[in-house]
Structure formats: C-alpha cells, structure tokens
Structure 1
Amino acid sequence: MTFFKLINQIHPKYWQLIVGILLGFISTGASLFVPQLAQRLINNFRHVSTSLIILTAIIFIGGLLIGALSGLILGIFGEDVVAKMRKTLWSKLLYLPVKYFDNTKTGEISSRLVNDTSQVKNLLANTLPNAVTSLLQFFGALVIMMAMDWQMTLIMFIAVPLVILALLPIMQQSRKIGRKRQDELANFSSDSTSVLSEIRLVKSSNGENKELTTGNKRISSLYNIGVKEAFINSLTQPITNMLMMFLFLGILGYGALRVMKCLAKLKKKPNMIKKLISRTKNLN
C-alpha cells in the first residue's frame, strides 16, 4: 500500500497505462485468433479462400502493430513516472537538512535516485502490463483448448501448476539473492563514491590501505552473491527443461493411449472404416 501511495503522489497519467493495457488485450486476442484461422487454412488447403487469407494477414499484421503501439504507450507512461519520481526525490533531497547527509552516504542516495526509480519504471511499464496480458492470454488459450479437447486441457491444467510448484523454491531463492545483490550494489556504489569524492582526505590521512580493504570486501561480497546467482540460474534451466520434458511425454503418452482406444473401437466397426476411406477418396 505504501508503494501505491508513493506512486499516487506524483499523479501519473493512468490513462496511458489503461490504453496501453487495452491495446495489449487486443493484440493478445489477435494472437489467439490467428491460429484458429491458420487451422482453417490448413484444413482447406485444396480450396483456399482468398478472403480468409486476407483476413488472416490483416489480423496478424494488425495484432503486431497494435502490440507495438501498446509497448510505445506503456514505455512513455513508464518514462513519465520515473521522471516525475526523480524530480520529486531530487526536490526532497535538496531541502533536507545537512544532518541527513552526514548520516547517509552520498553514493547510496544517488543509487536510490537512479537505480531504484528505474526498477519502479520497469515494474509499471513492463512487468505489470505483461502480467495482465499474460493472464488474458492464458485464460483465452484455456477456453480455446477446452473447446477443442477438454480432457487434454484438464491434464495440462493440472500438470503446469505442479511444474510451477516444483520451481517455486528456486524462484524464491533467486528473488532473495536478487534483493541482496541490489542492496550490495547500492552499498558498493555509496562507498566508492564517498571515497573518490574525498580522495584528498584519504591520501592525507594515509587511509589507502583501509579503503582498499573495505573495497575488496565489498567486491568479494558482490562476487559471492554473483556466484550464488549463477548457481541458481544454472539449476533453473535444466530443471525446467526436465520437468517440461516429463510433461510433454506424459501428455504425448496419454494422447497415444486415446488414439489406440479409438483404433480399437474402429476395428470393431468395419463399416465406419469404409466410410472414412470413402470420404478420403472423395477429398482426393
């Protein structure tokens, strides 16, 4: 709630966010509708309708253009938010008492002013709209899949959350490491900025060795965090691929069983097989 109160204080242009998300919805709907048209084209490839081809091309290209426009509007919204936030923070910093700057390192303040506001922009302009459109795409694809084959869809609907639950511990560790990395970067930026800005004082007091030791500790801490992050990232990809492979093999196996059952039923009804053969000949 504190975060949203902070955002409301700068009076962002929410209409840009709403328009960008709505255009993202339209683009997502087009991306869901195009495969249905492509399926009709493939099924009727011997008697392709020119109007259907034109309609598919228009929806496909229109979806791409609308998606690009959505990204542009959301990007402008994010830049507007981060600019207003930086102006507000800069104005606040200039009127703070000197005591605050005595107790807070200059590098840390500048890091919060530049890096943290950029993270807010990425959240509002990229992460939030992508999450909303991804939900629409998920539910839209779910409806289409249910209409095509509810049994296969049900299996996937159950299996995918299981995969996400299996990856949840790794995702939590990655989030913790990312937070530690951001804090450590702010501390390192603060220390290095303070030392370099007061380099004359450091040299006059023969504090090079002390600052060298402190800097090396910060760099080593960043290295250790980076190693942990690399380890987590190295585990994420193989585990995800393995789980998705199991999911694919399970769904493929279930589909093969259903095909075998259908073939067994057809063998018991030879008249149905003759009808299918005759229909195939007619199509040829």
Structure 2
Amino acid sequence: MKDFFRLLRRFVPPYKWKLVLNIVYNFLSAIFGAFSFLLLIPTLQILFGIKELVTVKPDFSLSISSVAEYVNYYISEIIQQHGQERALIFIGVFIILNVFLKTGFYYLANFMIVAIRNGVVRDIRSMIYKKIIYLPLGFFSEERKGDIMARMTNDVNEVENSIMNSLDMMIKNPILIIVSVAVMIYMSWSLTLFVFIVFPVVGYIIGAIGKSLKKKSRKGQDKMGEILSIIEEDLSGLRVIKSFNAEKKATGRFEKENQNYFQIMNQLMWRRFLAHPVSEFLGTTLIIVVLWYGGRLVLNGNSSLDAAGFIGYLVFFYNIINPGKAFSTALYSVEKGLASMERIDRILLTETNIVEKRDAKEITEFKESVNYKDVSFSYGATPVLKNVSLKIEKGKTIAFVGKSGGGKTTLVDLLPRFWDISEGAIEIDGIDLRDLKIRSLRNLIGNVNQEPILFNDTFFNNIAFGMENPKTEDVVHAAKIANAHDFIMEYEQGYDTPIGDRGDKLSGGQKQRISIARAVLNNPPILILDEATSALDTESERLVQDALGKLMKNRTSLVIAHRLSTIKNADLICVVHKGKIVEKGTHDELLNLNGHYGKLHKMQVF
C-alpha cells in the first residue's frame, strides 16, 4: 500500500480538489445508505406494534439516536392520524428519497473519479514520451526498442486497467466500511470488538496473495517487452531472415518466448482468479462466526441488541464484507499495476546526464571556429576517444577517415552534445559547449546521416521537419538545391505525397536527397555529414554528391567518409585510429606521408 500512496502523491496533486469532492460525495452516499436502513428498523418495529408509539416530541440534536427518535415520533403521529397504511407509504417515500440521494452522490463521486483516472493516465503517458525524447542517446544503446514500446503501451494500459480502475474502490470502500463500523459500534461495541479481533486474519491472507501477484505480474510485463523487441527486430530484418532461409529459426525464437509468457500469465491469472473465491469463502466464514457469537449473546440475554437489532447489525456487518471483498479485489489489481509502474519508472526516474546549466548562454551565430581541446570520451568503462585536439576554422571542410570503430562518429556526435565528453573541452567561438543552451547549439548544426531518417508523412512535412510555419516556396527551393524536386513532382500529389514507413516507397538516393533538402531548409552554419553517400549506386551518388556540394558551400563541414574520392578536396583530412587523430593534412600531404591514409588509398585504388 505504501507504493500505491506514493503513486497517488506523485500524480494526483493536479486533481486534488476533484479527489476531495470524490471523498465528500462518497461519504454522503454512504451516510444516506446507512441512515435509510438504520432508521428503517425502529420505524418498522413501531409500525408492526413491536415497539410502543412515541407520543412525546423529543429534543432534536445531531446524533443517530436523536434523529431515530425524531423519525419515530413522526411515524407515530402519522399512524395515529392516518393509520398504518398511510405510514407505510410515508416509509416508502422516505426510503426512495434516501436511495435517490445515495445514488445521486454515488454518481457525482464517479463523475469526479473519471476525470482523475483519465487525467493521471494521460499525464503518465505524456511524461514517458517527453522523457524518452529528451533522454541521451546512450540510454537507447543499452535498451531494446521493443521493451521501451511495451512500457509506453502495455504497462501504461496495465496501470490504467489495474490501478486507476481500482482507485474508486480504494476510496469508496474504506468510506463504506468506516460508516458501517461506526454504526456497528453504536449498535453494539462489544460485538464489534470481537469482529475486529477476527478481521485481521482475513486481511493477512488476502495481502499475502496480493504480494505474490505483483511479483508474477512484473515477470509477465518484462517478458512481453522481450516479445515486442523480437517482433520489432524481425520486422526490421525481414529481408535478411528470408535471404538466409532463417524463418524456422526466427519462428523458434519467438515461440520460445511466447511459451514462456503463456506459462507466466497462466500462473498470474490463476492467482488473480483465486482472489474472489478466497475472499468469498473467508467472508462467509466470518459472517457465520459472527452469527454464532452474536446470536449466542442475544439468546442468552448478554447483549444490548434484541433479535431485530441483531438482524440489523448483521446487515451492516454484511455491508463491511462486500466492500471488503471489493477492496481485496482492488488490492490485487493495484499490486499488478504497481509492477507495471515499476517498469515505467525505469524510464521516468532515469537521470539525464546531459544537463543544461541554469545560466546557459544563447548562441545565434557561428563566427570563428570550433575547438576540440584534449577531448576524451568513454562508453562506461570503455575508452573511445583519447586526448583529441583539433581546431576547425569557419568555412572549412574537415574530413575524418579511418577504420570502422575508430571513433569518427563519436567525435562529431560530441559537437551537438548527443554525448558529453569525459575530459577536456569543446568550444565554439571560445565558449564551452556545456555553457550554451542545448537548443540554440543544435540550431547551428545540421546532420545528414548514412541512413536517412524519414517519417511516415508527406514529402513536405519531412523536408520541413522541425520548422515552424514553413513557406511552400522555401521547401520547394530546398528540394531543388537537393536535386529532389523533379522526382517529387513525378508523384500525382507532389509534395503532399505520403512516403510510407521510414520512406520505404523511395530509393536510397531519393531518401538521402530528402534528408539533404531538410538540412538545406534548416540552413545551419555547421554541417555534419556521416557517410552520406556510402550506400548509394553510382548515379544516385552523383546526384547526392552534387546536392551535398551545394549544401556545403559557404558552410563549415565535418565529413565522415570511407570513400576517399569524396573527400580528396577537403581543406583538412584527419585519420582517426583507435580513438586518436594519428595523421592530419590535405590529400596530397597525407599521400606523401605514406602512413595510415596511404594504406587506405592504396586499398581503394586496388
């Protein structure tokens, strides 16, 4: 229960007044429900002659006994003046009025809980998405995409179905129990004391089952995350699976995890469905024990209750059993939902290590140079870059070459602060990156990656991605510079044509040109090109290279390339090897050195 209340403290405060009204309405509903029956017992006793008529008008006060005496007095007056049949009609109207008020307040309580429940679920889903968007790239290198998707979908749905659905019962049922217990104490405190001695045993058994449910539920959600990860990987690699005739192996891997999930969910649901019969059996046993103990007291004359009062007492005791059973069911659901909340918190409570300083500066233009000063970087305990120093003047094209895994991509990814350096400093115009506002820093930098990242949207929206209120003529102009306008206009809907999931309707060269058009429209003074032409055929490479030439004009460019022919005209070529810049110079200077660059050149010429 501590985890449940901690969850409420985190997410319910924006809806606290709705929660207060819900509690008030539930309390009023319980009061009218209790009063309608509590006052009915002595009223019927007078009506059927079991008790004497009340002929003296009592003094009124705010107490149950006073209200009961007052009602009895008026019933007696009606019987004396109009007879018992008219009194029976009065009792019926009185009960209808009480039930109307009870159900009316019950509806108002539910009206409030709906806004709380749906609001909290919406807030959790929004918080997860915002957290994922702002988390550093390092987080995703250690997590599986399918598992993250499972936490955003299945786990949030589980929180909604388990915790939020149970929220009403977790509030309403304790109120019903409190009101009923108060009436029971008023009717017979000694018998109620006996009930309190027996009741904790039932609560302990129900709580033990609930804890085991939470553990199994967490396993089930983790396993579903693994299944979604397999689905996501296999859909992305379907071409490879078919090429290597690996359908059987892929199916076997999926079936194994699916079978494990089947077994976990069986155990979970068996325990969950155990909740109702256990609570039903224990509740019935408890009623029989109270019936035996209380009945013995009444028969022996050792109780303040008479037979009618004892029947009324049992009705109120039953009013505890039903909410108690519902409360136990809600408890099971909450435990199951808390397991999903723990998985969600793995995202929400992840610390973001790339933090913007409070007094961070705004930067609107790039004037002089980018300076890497003794930069070192590690992935965890694995060093990737070691004491790299490099000055990049404005307007220059700097190329990075070397073996895969040498640290080239990491070197350029440090500039937009996708990662934070471990040691040293990177400065733009003499200002440390960590002293700048992240948004303004990234506005200075454009990216064109080896694998173009496009969205399931139109040509127009993909080119204008990240821009506010883009003009059509600007988008068209950017597409023309990127040699993309002609093939876009071949489609019937032109720039309004959807390009499919990840741009799968386009060829590799077309995707890359759309990506370049996006960078052109953004018009950044610093450009990062990461293997932008390595996966293209000759014709597409020529078109893309032409587009890149236009894009790089008058810009500071950091180019990662394996094809040396694409960067031989760079102002400076840096050879990155095992996390260090081992050679620097122009194409001709590096060839004359006959070092790492010379070896790479000979291999490619061959």
Q: TM-score, normalised by structure 1?
A: 0.76
Q: State the distance in 2 between where 1:137 and 1:210 align.
A: 57
Q: State the distance in 2 between where 1:95 and 1:205 align.
A: 38
Q: State the distance in 2 between where 1:177 and 1:33 align.
A: 43
Could you say which residue in structure 2 is the equivalent of 1:27?
29
Pair 1:204 & 2:243 matched = yes
Could you say which residue in structure 2 is the equivalent of 1:104?
143
Equivalent of 2:11, from 7, 22, 25?
Answer: 7
| Greater strand proportion | 2
**Aligned residue type for 2:291:** L
Cα distance, 1:174–1:117 mapped onto 2, change above 3 Å: closer
Residue correspondences, number: 261
Q: State the distance in 2 between where 1:83 and 1:239 align.
A: 34
Shift of 1:17: 2.5
Cα distance, 1:56–1:202 mapped onto 2, change above 3 Å: same
Pair 1:176 & 2:189 matched = no
Shift of 1:159: 1.3
Could you say which residue in structure 2 is the equivalent of 1:272?
none
**Aligned residue type for 1:169:** A
Residue by residue over 1:203-258, the C-alpha shift from the partner in whole angstroms, topping out at 9 and shown as x without a partner, is 23443233222211211112221232344346544444443343233222223422
- Stretches of structure 1 that go unaligned for 5 or more consecutive residues are 264-284
Q: CA RMSD in A?
A: 3.1
Residue by residue over 1:36-61, the C-alpha shift from the partner in whole angstroms, topping out at 9 and shown as x without a partner, is 13324533445336554333212211
Could you say which residue in structure 2 is the equivalent of 1:267?
none
Could you say which residue in structure 2 is the equivalent of 1:93?
132
Identity %: 23
Of 244-253 and 38-47, the range deviating more from structure 2? 38-47
Cα distance, 1:41–1:82 mapped onto 2, change above 3 Å: same
Pair 1:57 & 2:96 matched = yes
Q: State the distance in 1 between where 2:261 and 2:293 align.
A: 48
Give the match's secondary structure for 2:152.
Answer: helix
Q: State the distance in 2 between where 1:19 and 1:144 align.
A: 23
Pair 1:156 & 2:195 matched = yes
Equivalent of 1:83, from 96, 118, 122?
Answer: 122
Shift of 1:142: 0.9
Give the match's secondary structure for 1:262.
Answer: coil
Could you say which residue in structure 2 is the equivalent of 1:66?
105
RCO higher in structure (CA 8 A, sep ≥6): 1
Pair 1:251 & 2:251 matched = no
Is the contact between residue 26 and residue 175 of structure 2 (CA under 8 Å) also seen in structure 1? no
Give the match's secondary structure for 1:12.
Answer: helix
Equivalent of 2:44, from 42, 60, 63?
Answer: 42
**Aligned residue type for 2:25:** L
> Which of 1 and 2 has greater Rg?
2
Shift of 1:141: 0.9
Is the contact between residue 25 and residue 109 of structure 2 (CA under 8 Å) also seen in structure 1? yes
Q: State the distance in 2 between where 1:34 and 1:161 align.
A: 29
Give the match's secondary structure for 1:18.
Answer: helix
Equivalent of 1:227, from 253, 256, 266?
Answer: 266
Of 211-220 and 32-41, the range deviating more from structure 2? 32-41
Cα distance, 1:189–1:32 mapped onto 2, change above 3 Å: farther
Residue by residue over 1:86-139, the C-alpha shift from the partner in whole angstroms, topping out at 9 and shown as x without a partner, is 233323333445554443222222221123333444576443443233222222
Is the contact between residue 75 and residue 125 of structure 1 (CA under 8 Å) also seen in structure 2? no
Cα distance, 1:18–1:239 mapped onto 2, change above 3 Å: closer
Q: State the distance in 1 between where 2:153 and 2:132 align.
A: 13
Shift of 1:190: 2.9
Shift of 1:144: 0.5
Q: TM-score, normalised by structure 2?
A: 0.39
**Aligned residue type for 2:11:** I
Shift of 1:164: 1.9
Could you say which residue in structure 2 is the equivalent of 1:18?
20
Q: State the distance in 2 between where 1:72 and 1:186 align.
A: 34
Residue by residue over 1:2-42, the C-alpha shift from the partner in whole angstroms, topping out at 9 and shown as x without a partner, is 8567538xx73332222223222222222222221332453
Cα distance, 1:125–1:41 mapped onto 2, change above 3 Å: farther
Cα distance, 1:206–1:101 mapped onto 2, change above 3 Å: farther
| Greater helix proportion | 1
Is the contact between residue 202 and residue 208 of structure 1 (CA under 8 Å) also seen in structure 2? yes
